[in-house]
Amino acid sequence: MSYNLLKGKRGIIFGALDENSIAWKTAERVHEEGGTFVLSNAPIAMRMGSIKDLAEKTNSEIIAADATNIEDLEKLVDQATEILGGKIDFVLHSIGMSINVRKGRHYTNQNYDWTHKGMDVSALSFHKVMQVLKEKDAMNEWGSIVALTYMAAQRVFPDYNDMADNKAYLESIARSFGYFFGKDNKVRVNTISQSPTPTTAGKGVKGFEAFINYADKMSPLGNATALECADYTISLFSDLTKKVTLQNLYHDGGFSNVGVSQDVIEKFE
């Protein structure tokens, strides 16, 4: 169902890899709601995924950019405003990577070069994206910037590894940068703390299947899907949430406020 919530709005969507990814679903929903955008991903991710299909489907252009590289980001923002014909109204940052997780290094035995790289990709890239947008005065007033995060930023999920630290840093950047972006440019900045979601990235975490089932049993409304997350993101891109900023918004079926659920108790009785 379309409400035309984003008619005439322009944006940049980072991180769409394949149809399982939240960024992919968000791009589809933005398109349905009348928004136009450019898609961006790292060159390596573009080779792995099927982003070209998404571009065709949503009538969008793809601009390859390493989100940790300022020069790449400057080119991206210049090209995006040119292609879209004006300033940007919305940005989705859906970027995260941990080499320690990928290579099976335990949290207590990190390769710090990998940690540093993961932090740059997963968190610092968010600061870089916003800094470039702000310096170029590329955002419209009442624009909306959203980054995806996870509750491991606040609580311990042993197998989430150094990504937990990256997400905590990401959320802090959203608040700190969001303050200045709001004060100076009336741009809002929020993070969505999503349920565990079976995306290509999510499935890389050890014990993921068991955990997703546990989260589902803990949440009164069950886990939020990638498509539902896309819907929530749309609401934050729209003019209906103009005064929502500096928030970390839990989109998790209620999981974050449940101590224990009846379903989980019964499992252990």
Binding-site residue numbers are 15, 21-22, 95, 167
Of the residues 3, 107, 112, 160, only one is catalytic, namely: 160
Among the listed residues 21, 18, 66, 58, the one whose alpha carbon sits nearest the alpha carbon of residue 40? 66
CA dihedral angle for residue 169, residue 172, residue 176, residue 177, rounded to 10 degrees: 60
Catalytic annotation on 107?
A: no
Which is the catalytic residue, given 112, 150, 232, 250?
150
- Give the gyration radius of the chain's Cα atoms: 18
Instruction: Extract the annotated binding site for NAD(+).
Output: 15, 21-22, 95, 167
Give dist(CA 38, CA 63) in Å, integer.
7
Three-state SS across the chain?
CCCCCCCCCEEEEECCCCCCCHHHHHHHHHHHCCCEEEEEECHHHHHHCCHHHHHHHHCCEEEECCCCCHHHHHHHHHHHHHHHCCCEEEEEECCCCCHHHHCCCCHHHCCHHHHHHHHHHHHHHHHHHHHHHHHCCCEEEEEEEEEEECHHHCCCCHHHCCHHHHHHHHHHHHHHHHHHHHHHHCCEEEEEEECCCCCCCHHHCCCHHHHHHHHHHHCCCCCCCHHHHHHHHHHHHCHHHCCCCCCEEEECCCHHHCCCCHHHHHHHC
Chain centroid to CA 66: 16
Active site residues: 150, 160
